[in-house]
């Protein structure tokens, strides 16, 4: 059995795959589940660090501390070389990522009962859009982190290609497949020829007709749902006495996972208190200040995610915002959500159209569209991609596990 694994370090969830005959490749990482939410909570009350579901539970139970999510979004940005204060000490963001990936490796090895020395790491088609230098830096950073936690042999694979390998393991004939991987931070696509015969080849470059991606994903859908429907309850769009609108930057920070903690600074608190004196609707600013005082921004982001998930299968849902003061019960409509994300979905749609053009492939030549990634259930997104390929069969893969499973297969090909 190989000492090589596949590591899917995701924006929202992470998995590790290990290819074993007759068994599921995905290793159990937390409470019998194969996914580990990409979340870290520094519990100041207990002076302990928690990961995954335990981290979210600690935060929601009200422990004092620092919650951090969407860690992958730091790769390729200037923030990766910055630092933050956690439990009274300075913590570089690079160290934070190293700690999480080290924990991911440790849990995988515990579940497998062996050490993993080789890994195929999943990566988006673009860590950073339209910036090759930043994209290369992001991969190099992830490589260095993987080395530092104990992997000696490391390779990379595009995440949609990994999902293609997982789908291919179920085929009994050749297909031309579009993989649509809509993750937490990016939307990635690959057009691949797949078959049982092609699966035996180590070098698959000739089977990959084109790949493309855009830095838009599920956390962006959460963000714009929040800005459109939730943040107005806290004062977004309301006016000052002179007719100007309250600055939107505070609300954008609260709606964006990796900037929520900026809302908790003393500087932000004093700025909002200053704005409060000239606000026409002080009740909404009272809500905002109360939310910041109780550091409930992450809770609010989780509620936006809850709404997005529900609207993928329902036309409306009642969202209970019981931590607001006063509490609110907000009726969310799918129509309003789709309006909020329309421009984002249009950018993703354009990415798929350009991919087909670059590959020189007619839409009618594509046999199957495989949807994977936790945010691929968004109805408007599926409809737009489906409309581009009207004759293609639509298949839903393992939304959270297909990439890790495919990376495990690739690890066997590359490392034996």
Answer whether residue 212 is part of any domain: no
Q: Which of 325, 340, 355 is the last residue of a domain?
A: 340
Distance CA 182, CA 191 (A): 15
Please classify residue 125 by burial: count the beta carbons closer than 10 Å to its beta carbon, then call 0-12 exposed, 13-18 middle and 19+ buried. Answer: buried
Determine the 3-state secondary structure of 393 from DSSP. Answer: strand
* Together in a domain, 119 and 231: no
Both 67 and 130 in a single domain?
yes
Q: Is 48 in the same domain as 135?
A: yes
Residues in a beta bridge with 41 = 50, 67
pLDDT at position 409 is 95
In a domain, 378, yes or no: no
What DSSP character marks residue 247?
A: P
**What is the pLDDT of the chain when averaged over all its residues?**
95
Token look-up 């609707």 returns 281
CA 242 to chain centre: 40
Q: CA dist 166 to 28, 194, 275, Å?
A: 18, 10, 53
Q: 3-state class of 140 per DSSP?
A: helix
Q: Extract the tokens encoding 261.
A: 């903690």
398 has a pLDDT exceeding 80: yes
> Using an 8 Å Cβ cutoff, are 218 and 182 in contact?
yes
Whether 74 is in a domain gets the answer yes
Angle between helices 297-311 and 282-293 (to 10 degrees): 110
Q: Is the residue at 177 inside a domain?
A: no
Does residue 167 have a cis peptide bond before it, meaning omega lies within 30 degrees of 0?
no
pLDDT value for 88: 85
Q: Is the pLDDT of residue 2 over 80?
A: no
CATH value at residue 136? 3.30.420.40
Q: Kindly report, residue by residue over 219-270, the tens digit of the pLDDT.
A: 999 999 999 999 999 999 999 999 999 999 999 999 999 899 899 999 999 9
Across the range 261-289, mean pLDDT stands at 95
**DSSP per residue over 61-92, as a string?**
TT-SEEEEE-GGGGTTSGGGG-EEEETTEEEE
Query: Is there a single domain that holds both residue 166 and residue 270?
Result: no
Whether residue 233 sits in one domain with residue 159: no
* CA–CA separation, 205 and 251 (whole Å): 44
Contact of 63 with 38, CB cutoff 8 Å: no
Question: Measured between alpha carbons, how far is 75 from 154 in angstroms, rounded to an integer?
Answer: 17
Together in a domain, 39 and 121: yes
Instruction: Name the least confident of 107-116, 198-207, 281-290, 336-345.
Output: 198-207
Instruction: Identify whether the C-beta of residue 67 lies closer than 8 Å to the C-beta of residue 59.
Output: yes
Q: Do 234 and 160 fall within a single domain?
A: no
Looking at the fold, whether 42 and 121 belong to one and the same domain comes out as yes
**Which stretches of 329-401 are DSSP H helices?**
334-340, 342-359, 379-388
In a domain, residue 197? The reply is: no
Same domain, 150 and 241: no
Same domain, 130 and 243: no
Residue 383 lies in a domain: no
Q: Which of 88-92, 343-347, 363-367 has the lowest mean pLDDT?
A: 88-92
- Smallest CA-to-CA distance from 49 within 65, 37, 60 is with 65
Question: What is the rounded CA–CA span in Å between residue 174 and residue 204?
Answer: 14
* Partner residues linked to 6 by β-bridges: 17, 120
> 134 pLDDT exceeds 70?
yes
Residue 207 inside a domain? The answer is: no
> Residue 140 domain-assigned?
yes
The pairing of strands 368-372 and 175-182 is parallel
- What is the per-residue pLDDT across 13-38, written as a single tens digit (0 to 9) for each? 999 999 988 899 999 999 999 999 99
Between the CA atoms of 295, 296, 302 and 306, what dihedral angle is there, to the nearest 10 degrees?
180
Residue 133, φ and ψ in degrees, nearest 5? -65, -45
Q: How much is the pLDDT for 1?
A: 66
Which structural domain, as residue segments, surrounds residue 410?
Answer: 4-172+398-415
Please say which residue of 340, 365, 389 terminates a domain.
340
Checking if the pLDDT of 326 tops 90, the result is: yes
| Cα dihedral 387, 393, 399, 404 sign | negative
User: In whole angstroms, how far apart are CA 204 and each of 139, 143, 276, 285, 405?
Assistant: 21, 22, 60, 56, 17
Examine the domain organization and report whether 106 and 16 are in the same domain: yes
CA distance 178 to 371: 9
Same domain, 329 and 409: no
Number of domains in the chain: 2
How confident is the model over 160-191, as pLDDT tens digits?
A: 999 999 999 999 999 999 999 999 999 999 99
Q: What is the pTM of this model?
A: 0.91
Strand partners, 211: 190
How far is residue 223's CA from residue 305's CA, in Å, rounded to a whole number?
A: 9
Last residue of a domain, one of 304, 320, 340: 340
């Amino acid at each position: 059995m190989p000492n090589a694994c596949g590591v899917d370090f995701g924006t929202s969830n992470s998995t590790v795959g290990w290819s074993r005959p007759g068994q599921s490749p995905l290793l159990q990482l937390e409470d019998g589940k194969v996914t580990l939410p990409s979340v870290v909570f520094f519990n100041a009350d207990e002076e302990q660090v928690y990961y995954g579901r335990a981290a979210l539970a600690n935060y929601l139970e009200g422990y004092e501390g620092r919650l951090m999510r969407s860690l992958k979004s730091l790769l390729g940005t200037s923030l990766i070389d910055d630092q933050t204060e956690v439990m009274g000490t300075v913590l570089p963001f690079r160290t934070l990522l190293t700690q999480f990936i080290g924990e991911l490796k440790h849990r995988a090895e515990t579940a497998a009962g062996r050490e993993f020395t080789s890994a195929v790491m999943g990566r988006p088609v673009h860590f950073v859009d339209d910036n090759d230098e930043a994209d290369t830096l992001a991969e190099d950073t992830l490589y260095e982190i993987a080395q530092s936690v104990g992997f000696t042999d490391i390779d990379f694979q595009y995440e949609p290609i990994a999902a293609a390998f997982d789908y291919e393991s179920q085929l009994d004939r050749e297909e031309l497949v579009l993989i649509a991987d809509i993750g937490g931070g990016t939307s990635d696509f690959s057009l691949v020829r797949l078959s049982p015969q092609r699966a035996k080849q180590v070098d698959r470059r000739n089977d990959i007709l084109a790949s493309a991606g855009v830095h838009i994903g599920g956390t962006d859908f959460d963000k714009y749902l929040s800005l459109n429907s939730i943040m107005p309850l806290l004062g977004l769009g309301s006016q000052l006495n002179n007719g100007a609108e309250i600055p939107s930057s505070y609300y954008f920070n609260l709606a964006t996972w990796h900037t929520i903690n900026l809302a908790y600074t003393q500087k932000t608190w004093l700025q909002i208190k200053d704005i409060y004196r000239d606000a026409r609707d002080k009740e909404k600013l009272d809500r905002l200040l109360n939310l910041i005082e109780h550091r409930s921004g992450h809770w609010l982001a989780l509620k936006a995610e809850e709404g997005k998930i529900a609207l993928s299968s329902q036309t409306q849902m009642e969202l209970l915002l019981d931590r607001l003061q006063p509490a609110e019960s907000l009726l969310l409509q799918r129509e309003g959500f789709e309006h909020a994300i329309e421009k984002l979905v249009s950018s993703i749609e354009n990415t798929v159209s350009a991919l087909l053009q670059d590959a020189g492939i007619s839409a009618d030549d594509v046999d199957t569209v495989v949807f994977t990634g936790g945010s691929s259930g968004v109805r408007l997104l599926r409809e737009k991609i489906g409309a581009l390929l009207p004759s293609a069969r639509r298949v839903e893969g393992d939304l959270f596990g297909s990439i890790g499973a495919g990376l495990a297969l690739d690890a066997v090909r590359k490392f034996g």
